Every structure is written in structure tokens, then in C-alpha cells.
A and B are shown apart, each in its own frame.
Chain A
Amino acid sequence: MNSLPVPKQSTSPIQNSEVETFLSTEAWLLDTWQLDKWLGMFDPQARYQVPSTDGHHLNSVESLYLVDDDYRQLCFRVKRFDLPQGHAEQPHSITQRLVTNVLVHSEQNGVIDVTAGFSIFRSRHGVQSQYVGRYEHRLIRVDGELKFLNRKSLLVMPGLGVAGTVSIIV
């Protein structure tokens, strides 16, 4: 998304505040582990993607991502959180997300490209670790409601370090 046009508020009928509310709602659902409701924010054509920390600009076919879920994989990822043998998130991490710097870059034929900054403070086994990064999402409007068409999370970190995994949604 380096080539995205500089946002021009005046040509964008969607209000920044609507996207901010959408992303804050998402963070709330994730932090409170209401993941079935969170899945409802996705279009069935959507992907959830996390490129490798050293490959932000690469595509998911020609490079190795950390996560590249289609909707079916994403549904299983969500289900796994509640399986007793999904060990990596049993017990669940405790998270607090801060989402900020929300920008609408373009809106064309109902497809809306937005970016935002995030940090996720995650506690697990008495240790706090942090994920920091940038969202580069593509949203669409379905029956008046915003949905994810591509939920892409770029981790702006030298590697995962002590966070170790992306076993939570980032």
C-alpha cells in the first residue's frame, strides 16, 4: 500500500469516525474474547493476513507469511481458541489493544482502504509482551454495514521476540 494516494477528506464520503468506531468495536470484541461476533465483521470472501516481519511488501503466494487465512481457516482459528487442546491459548491471553492514527485512503465502488496504528499489550503466564504495528485493511459495505474484505496486520517489530507466537489475533 506504499503507492496509496494521500488521503483527501473532501472526496471521501465515508467519515473517519465511522471507521474509527468499526476498528474500536473490533478491538473491544477481541479484547473481551467475543470472537464469534468478531467473525461477523468479515465478508465470507475475506482474508486475515500477517506478513512476516521482514516481508511487509511481499505477496502471500511468492513469500512466507505468518498468517494467511481464508474465511474457512479463520473460522477454524476462532474455533480453536475454545478447544481445550488448543494449548497455545489455554488459558486465553489477556489483551488490551490501542488502535489509533486511523486514515481513510480511498473509497471506490464501495471498496474502502484504511490504515491505522496498533499496539497490543498481551499478558500470558504472568509475563507481558507487546505487538506493535500497522493495519492496512480493505473494507466493503454490505447492506450498509462495514465488513473486512482484507484484514492485514503488519507487525512493525524486528521479529516476534519474547512474544514468541501470533497465537492471538493481531
Chain B
Amino acid sequence: MNPDSNQLIFDQPDDHQYLVNKRTFTDEELFEAEYSQIYDKLWLYVGHETEIPKPGDFVTRTIARRPLLLVRGSDGHVQVYLNTCTHNGSLVCREPAGNRDFFPCAYHGWVFDRDGELKEVPGESAFGPQFSKSANGLPTPPSQASYQGFVFISFAERGDLPDYLAGAKEYLDILSASSTDGMKVMPGTHIYGTSANWKMLPVNVIDGNHFLPTHVTYLQYLQERGSEMKHPIRDFHESVLGNGHTVFEYEAPWGRPQGKPDASWSDEVNAQVEARREELIERLGPELGDRIARKNRNLVIFPNLIINDIMGVTIRLAEPVSAGYMDVTAWQIAPTDDPPELAQVRNEQFLTFLGPGGFATPDDIEGMEASQRGFATYREVPWANYSKGIAAEIAGGLTNPGESDFMTRAFFNAWQGYLGITNFSELP
């Protein structure tokens, strides 16, 4: 059967074919439909509670095109507000981060406190007796909930974050258990744009196919610094976690400051890493302790949160700007109690692979941006091929790392399910 070039996805398991229309990465009308069906309805990651540890600490952030203000209130609770004044709509807070007891609106002087209450209205009596300050506090998004310190909101009314996170909860639990004293988001944020469709980022993270061709220079770096390179990617486990979330778990040649020593590190540092591993096994048992210490996890929580717990641990947030461009914000999350020598090695581990200046992430970005430019041929060459592994799946056999696109297929199936259409002709 020949695919209809207006279909979003061509899924023919009998022919071992799963093709995604490249136009789904370039079409602005579809992009608007993604906003209304996905970004305006699902749970979206907005930030981590450890970014604002003290009452009055705040950050501002743009999520799904809305300006948001995250504040830790007097009672210690983290609240997300829509950053807009209840008077004439101006941004109430125009700073990226800080600590404040009050948020005075610059335009006409209304003053809100750190608990979102409206405290002062110049010329209040002129609004008449019906006006009440208590009814004009800072507005909040329709839904907000946290899981293990990860704060999510939704622009739809919903109360189901744990159900929505589904199998991804286990991985947030695992990450949060990585250190006895907890994990915290470190200051210093990687803020950058990528000239590619937003779907490319999660798909890149769960795509085991690209690792060797894209990242061979990183492996060379490890080799040259003296890491143990005998074993390639092994002991891997890929799984579909529900609702579009996926994870790829595996052991890799590199050390993990969280609990796997590396031959290139000093004996002192390796002793600290070994102690971390023993603490994990002591506290969580041999199976989970060893798994946290030794294995890497690439986690995608649909649609906008990506967590790589690999040689370093990074949280990334993708904000779609247009069909061909996204803003990416990335942080390091790390044990709160790393001694300075270990913290230094941990940062080196992170920065030599991850981030816009690493020896690997820029190559991922190059791959995504080069794909996006290639997608302009969608009329002549409509299909991106995500068929790897279907034949083995049908035969009931296992695949090796990098030999299956089954998580990518799960991602696109969930995406199409949320969109509620299967063909470009159904766009409003």
C-alpha cells in the first residue's frame, strides 16, 4: 500500500513500515493544533521546587507562550501564578529570579505580596464599593501539582498528575532517591534556541540509533582521558511508560559520580564515588542501589520535560516557538551534599558531554537542525523512517541497543492520539 501524503503517520506493521510525515515538523497550522490539543491541555513541566528554596524566592518563566511567576510563599508552598496584573494585565514581575516580599506592578502601582494577595490599590475607593482586593489576587493557571519536587501545571482543569505521569513516576522516584540529602537544581542555566521542531528533542533523547555516529568524538575523549572502554552500551532496557512517556535505561562505559567509579578519576574521588554506591545499596537494597549507581536513564515526560540521568544529570525543558524553532532551558540537578572535589568531577562529567559547550550535545543539535532543514523537502520526499525493529518485534525477538525505534513509535502514537486527527485534511 502506498502512503497518502496527507497522512500524519503511515503505520503498516505487516510491511515492517512506520513512517512519519516530515510535514508534521514544518507545518505551522499543525503546530497551532499541537498547541491547542497538547500544550493547552496536558500537564507541562514548569520548574523544580529547589530552584526557589526560601519564602519569597521567585523565578519567572515562559511556558506554552504564557509568562509565569513561580514563588515560594510564606507557608513554604511553591505556587505558580500567571504573571499578569489583575488591573490592566501588565507583567507583575519583570525580573528573571530573586527574592521579594512584594511584587509591585510598575504600571499603576497595585501591589501583590509573595502569597499572591493584592495588598494595595492606589485610588481604591474610585473602583466603587463592589471592588474587593481579595477577589483580585494574582491569577493562577487552572491546574498545578508537584511530584518529587517537579512542578507541573496545566492550562486545562485536571487533577490527575500521578495518573498522567504513569510509569514515569518510578523514574522521578529513582532520581530523587539518588542522594540521602536529596537532589537540588544547581544555579546557572543553559538557555539556548534550537532551529528544529520541538518533537525532535525528545525523539533525539530516546533514539539509540544516533549514539555512535553522532557521538564518536565523545567516546574518543573518554578513551584519551583513560576511562575503561572495554564494554560498550550494555544491560539495556527500553520501555514505554504510558501517555507518551518513555525511558531508555542502560550501563555505559563512562563513570557516574552518583556511584560508578571511572579509571580516569583520582583514587580519592573514586573512593567517594564508591562510598556513594555503598550508601545507595545500604539504604535501598542491592538491586535498586546498584541500578541507581551504575545505570543511565534517558527519560522523556511528554510533552516538554526531558531528564538525562547519564554521566551528568540534566533537566531540559522544550518550549515550542514555531514549527521550526524551540527554546531550550537546561539545568543540572545534583546531590545537595557533594563535597567540592566530587562536585568538580561531577561538573566536568556533565560539561564534557552535555550542554551547548559540551563535546556531544552540540552534535545532537547539529543533527536536529540539519534534519529540520532537510524536512523542507517534505513535498517530494514525505516520509521519515522509524521502522527499525518492527521485523524483530513481530518475530518476537529482542533487539540490541540502537536497533529499534519502538520508543519513537510510542512517542508518535501518543502524539497523534492527543492531536485527535490522523490526516492533514482534518486540520480545522
Contacts and interface: CB of A to CB of B under 8 A. Distances in A.
A16 interface: no
Contacts of A163: 192-193
Leading 5 A-B pairs by shortest Cβ distance = A159-B191, A88-B362, A64-B188, A63-B188, A160-B192
Nearest to B338: A61
Contact of B96 (A51, A54, A86, A164): A54
B320 interface: no
Interface stretch (B40-48, B82-90, B282-290, B348-356): B348-356
Interface in B303-361: 327, 331-332, 340, 343-344, 347-348, 350-352, 355-357, 359, 361
B217 interface: yes
Given A80-B217, A165-B356, A54 B189 contact: yes
Interface in A128-170: 158-167
Nearest to A63: B188
B224 interface: yes
A14 B217 CA distance: 41
Interface magnitude class on chain B: 35 or more
In this complex, the member of A52, A53, A73, A158 whose beta carbon has the largest number of chain B beta carbons within 10 angstroms is: A52
A159 B96 CA distance: 12
Chain A contact residues: helix, strand, loop or mixed: loop
Task: Summarize B's interface: helix, strand, loop or mixed.
Answer: helix
B350 A64 contact: yes
A66 interface: yes
Contacts of A76: 221, 224-225, 359
Interface of B: 96-97, 186-195, 213-214, 216-217, 220-221, 224-225, 327, 331-332, 340, 343-344, 347-348, 350-352, 355-357, 359, 361-363, 365-367, 369, 373
A54 B351 contact: no
Given A67-B357, A88-B363, A88-B366, A62 B192 contact: no
Interface residues of A, number: 39
Contact of B213 (A55, A61, A85, A89): A85
A76 B356 CA distance: 16
A37 B332 CA distance: 34
A159 B188 contact: no
A164 B327 CA distance: 9
A87 B363 CA distance: 5
B347 A61 contact: yes
Contacts of B366: 87-88
B192 to A, nearest CB: 4
